[in-house]
């Protein structure tokens, strides 16, 4: 994600964003790699049957994320979501039927899905199941019989509602702009349009069918598998299918009247879509930026290895977004203003870097946000370096020079920034940390580590990354011990000293 308020480098063109960094954070000084600050989270611990007050056999509500403890669910591994939704613009109502395919990781007499809409029916493996809604979006389901450990099961949920009227803690990812609909957001958005295990630690395949009024378009992630007309119902039916697992927040749905361009670039099919609510000139400028996507990906492949997905593209809706860009898998969502005013190369390179960092490699828990945003921001720096702009080293030293004496800027630790600081300091401190690490490890070892990490799909934590990085340094033969480096850049709430050990030039 690129924040509209705090985005890589762009924020510094208007001066350092310091006023928002007010969290008072006290972290212990550690004598080894700073793993003791948080639980090791290579993957979130499997829920213990009967844990968190749940009866034996009940999957937990929430995966125990330290920032969002009720997000997701325990007891199973989601494998595929087959989402089929219809949109009625007359009453702004969405109705849906979603089939969730999952594998039980414990005996299940009950389990949860996350959904904020009203449920009318649930079936498990074709048999009616009882259900209830707890809290904001926890759908508790009791199947007709216990699901044994290791069994693959199918949950069919029928539901509906007016998602644009629903907000949670100020989060409102479902928006209507005129006759155009968009649901996209981070850290959550799926609960507004389909039931899911809504946590990035459990990515799954996506299969989305959207039924919209005749003449409308429906755009989502993955490959466009079909577009047909249903004149009896007065609908167009659009079908999108992913071939790689996706975290739930990395899917989006846009409904309305879009100008859609399709083709193939570098052997990959692309779909670019721009809202027809924008003027002809704005659409032209937006498409000119979107069509830079293959070139940006080629540069990033030189850094991070082969692009990890089979499709590319982008969406520019009319909605007023709180972010400039969101790394929805294969097809980022970009704010119209950011794509129609000036050069969007920095935004494109940031969001497309996320295809490696955040999409191919996903978060174990939300306090691992460094793994996503630090790398995407550094990717934008490196893209500028490789396309005739300032080097990443120049950007690092300029930024550090501006921020060195600001106590407030350094007060939030990157290892555990806190829920209220997920999307601010990491965009600036994150790429500084990585460029300093590049200096400390040496260019070859650093880029080899980046490629190895980015090319291995799965769910991993920041602690995993620190261990991987130290191993990469060991393999390089440099003898670099990164303990003090991680302490200085990720833990200590103060500006790292200008030393070679901290990654500064001699």
Give CA separation, 472 vs 42, 438, 446, 450, 451, in Å: 18, 12, 8, 10, 11
Separation between Cα atoms, residue 140 and residue 335, nearest integer Å: 36
Reference 223, options 262, 182, 254; nearest CA is 262
Separation between Cα atoms, residue 206 and residue 191, nearest integer Å: 14
| Residue 49 region by backbone torsions, left for phi larger than 0, else alpha for psi between -120 and 50, else beta | beta
Reference 201, options 366, 90, 26; nearest CA is 366
Reference 423, options 320, 317, 300, 326; nearest CA is 326
Reference 95, options 1, 172, 161; nearest CA is 161
Separation between Cα atoms, residue 81 and residue 349, nearest integer Å: 29
The answer on whether 158 is annotated among ligand-binding residues is: no
The answer on whether 373 is annotated among ligand-binding residues is: yes
Query: How far is C-alpha 31 from the chain's CA centre?
Result: 33
Q: Is the dihedral of CA 274, 280, 282, 285 positive or negative?
A: positive
Separation between Cα atoms, residue 118 and residue 160, nearest integer Å: 5
Residues 236 and 218 sit within 8 Å (Cβ to Cβ): yes
Across-strand partners of 334? 325
Separation between Cα atoms, residue 334 and residue 287, nearest integer Å: 11
DSSP state of 163: G
Residues 97 and 156 sit within 8 Å (Cβ to Cβ): yes
Reference 203, options 39, 74, 350, 363; nearest CA is 363
500: exposed, middle or buried (Cβ count in 10 Å: 0-12, 13-18, 19+): exposed
DSSP state of 61: B
The answer on whether 350 is annotated among ligand-binding residues is: yes
Reference 458, options 326, 384, 383, 368; nearest CA is 368
Residue 235, φ and ψ in degrees, nearest 5? -130, 155
Across-strand partners of 199? none
Residues annotated within the binding site are 350, 354, 373
Residues annotated within the binding site for Zn(2+) are 350, 354, 373
């Amino acid at each position: 994600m690129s924040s509209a308020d705090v985005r890589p480098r762009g924020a510094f063109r208007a001066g350092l964003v310091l006023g928002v960094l007010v969290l008072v954070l006290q972290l212990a000084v550690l004598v080894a790699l700073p793993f003791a600050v948080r639980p090791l989270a290579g993957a979130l611990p499997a829920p213990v049957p009967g844990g968190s007050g749940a009866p034996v056999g009940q999957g937990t509500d929430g995966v125990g994320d330290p920032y969002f403890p009720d997000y997701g669910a325990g007891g199973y591994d989601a494998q595929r979501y087959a989402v089929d939704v219809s949109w009625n613009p007359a009453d702004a109502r969405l109705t849906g039927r979603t089939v969730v395919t999952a594998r039980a990781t414990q005996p299940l007499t009950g389990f949860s899905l996350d959904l904020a809409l009203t449920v009318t029916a649930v079936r498990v493996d074709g048999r009616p199941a009882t259900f209830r809604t707890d809290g904001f979006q926890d759908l508790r389901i009791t199947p007709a019989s216990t699901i044994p450990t290791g069994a693959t099961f199918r949950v069919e949920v029928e539901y509906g509602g007016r998602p644009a009227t629903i907000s949670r803690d100020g989060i409102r990812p479902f928006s209507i702009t005129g006759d155009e609909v968009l649901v996209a957001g981070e850290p959550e958005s799926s609960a507004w349009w389909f039931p899911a295990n809504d946590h990035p630690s459990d990515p799954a395949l996506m299969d989305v069918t959207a039924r919209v009024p005749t003449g409308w378009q429906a755009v989502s992630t993955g490959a466009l598998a079909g577009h047909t007309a249903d004149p009896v119902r007065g609908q167009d039916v659009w079908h999108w299918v992913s071939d790689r697992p996706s975290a739930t927040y990395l899917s989006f749905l846009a409904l309305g009247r879009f100008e859609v361009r399709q083709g193939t670039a570098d052997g990959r099919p692309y779909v670019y879509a721009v809202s027809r609510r924008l003027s002809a000139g704005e659409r032209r400028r937006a498409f000119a930026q979107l069509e830079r996507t293959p070139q940006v990906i080629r540069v990033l492949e030189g850094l991070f290895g082969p692009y990890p997905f089979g499709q590319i593209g982008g969406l520019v809706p009319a909605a007023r977004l709180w972010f400039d860009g969101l790394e929805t898998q294969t097809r980022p969502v970009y704010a119209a203003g950011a794509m129609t005013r000036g050069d969007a190369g920095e935004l494109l390179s940031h969001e497309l870097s996320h295809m490696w960092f955040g999409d191919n490699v996903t978060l174990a828990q939300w306090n691992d946000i460094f793994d996503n945003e630090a790398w995407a921001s550094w990717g934008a720096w490196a893209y500028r370096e490789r396309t005739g702009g300032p080097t990443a080293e120049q950007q690092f030293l300029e930024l550090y020079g501006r921020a060195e004496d600001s106590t407030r800027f350094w007060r939030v630790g990157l290892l555990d920034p806190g829920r209220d600081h997920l999307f601010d300091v990491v965009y600036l401190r994150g790429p500084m940390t990585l460029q300093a690490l590049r200096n400390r490890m040496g260019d070859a070892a650093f880029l080899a580590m980046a490629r190895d990490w980015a090319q291995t799909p799965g769910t991993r934590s920041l602690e995993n990354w620190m261990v991987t990085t130290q191993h990469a340094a060991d393999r390089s033969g440099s003898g670099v011990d990164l303990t003090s480096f991680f302490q200085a850049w990720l833990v200590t709430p103060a500006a790292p000293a200008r030393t070679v050990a901290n990654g500064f030039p001699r």
